Amino acid sequence: MLDRAFDVAQHLERLQSLGATSANLDPLRIYRQRELLRILLRDVLRLAPLAQLLAEQNDLAEACLIFTERMVNPDQALTIVALGKFGGREIGYGADLDVLFVGEETRAAQSLIATVGQSSAEGRLAPLDARLRPDGEKGPLVCSLETFRTYYESRAQFWELQSLTRARAISGPLRFEFEALAREIWRAAGGRSDLMRQIESMLIRIANERGSGNDFFDFKTGIGGMIEGEFLVQALQMRSRIWEPNFFSAVKKLAAKKVVERRDAISLQDAYTFLRTCESVLRRWQHRSVSTLPVTRDEEERFARRMNFATIDEFRAPYGKARETIHSLRTRYLVE
């Protein structure tokens, strides 16, 4: 039915019956396209809230990845860790999957990346991005637990420790050991005296390196943008030792622990949801990553209608309010 959502386990059960093989992934690609269409229809028809739609996309991507890994590497000796929005169970349209590989199976990881990256007339699966590993693209694709520990304790940059906020092991024999290590390192980073200064520095760096030069259009990297909201929540999580990879669940836990006032938590969720809805509306058109608002008048008007506003001028006030809310809350809770 149109309004039914499937979780990872349900998708995996369905995928078992498709007859896909490592040599022929088309049945898997067709299934993914069909499920994405179902999610898209629920989105356009407003049959489900944004957080649920993001979770559905995440569950679909995760199931397809796990199923492919089982086909390519039957011994399942490779541990896969989800990071970023994939780790938070909230990926959107056109997203890559941020991952880490734990263990000794470099060839298995290479095979998985290559297989997932293949495309055909039936499309392709969500590509994997393993650049968040120790030493980035210059580092080994697969690392042992001890290598991760040594790296995080000795030479990792602060943003790499912060990124562990969303680390979630999804498969493999070392998943529990890695999550235990990640929490240990993450909690230690949360006790740093320069925590807020480091996060402020990263916000400035992201705005400078990824911004378009026009803050109004940069709903993701600009002042009061999505990343500022995410960093606010992650900073409060680290300072309060509240482990939760999902943004929306983390805000609820921060409110429950009285780290933020309940009304501020509601305002933050509403503002962040508005900006992520902007992102979702822009990305679903061509299923690709978009981080700025449209700039031409025709594109603006089409975007406004997809956002359920009559004109772009009607959109500007709630958009400005959302960004002002996020920035004011960060200033209130984080500026020392």
All domains in the chain, ordered by first residue: 8-190 (3.30.460.10), 195-334 (1.20.120.330)
How much of the chain, in percent, has pLDDT values that exceed 70?
A: 98
User: What is the distance between the terminal CA atoms of the chain, rounded to a whole angstrom?
Assistant: 51
Mean of the per-residue pLDDT values of the chain: 95
Give the predicted TM-score (pTM) of the model: 0.95
Q: pLDDT by residue (tens digit) across 93-141?
A: 999 999 999 999 999 999 999 999 999 999 999 999 999 999 999 999 9
Q: pLDDT by residue (tens digit) across 230-252?
A: 999 999 999 999 999 999 999 99
Q: pLDDT by residue (tens digit) across 41-50?
A: 999 999 999 9
pLDDT at 125: 94
Q: pLDDT by residue (tens digit) across 52-73?
A: 999 999 999 999 999 999 999 9
pLDDT at 336: 57
Do residues 89 and 52 make contact, with C-beta atoms less than 8 angstroms apart? no
Instruction: Please name the helix (run of DSSP H) or strand (run of DSSP E) that holds residue 110, with its range, or none.
Output: helix 106-117
C-alpha span between 93 and 54 (Å, rounded): 9
Query: 1 pLDDT exceeds 50?
Result: no
Which of 129, 117, 132 has the alpha carbon at shortest distance from 68?
Answer: 117
- pLDDT band of 335, cuts 50, 70, 90: confident
The DSSP 8-state label assigned to residue 163 in this structure reads G
**Dihedral class, residue 308 (left if φ above 0, else alpha if ψ from -120 to 50, else beta):** left
Q: pLDDT by residue (tens digit) across 140-184?
A: 999 999 999 999 999 999 999 999 999 999 999 999 999 999 999
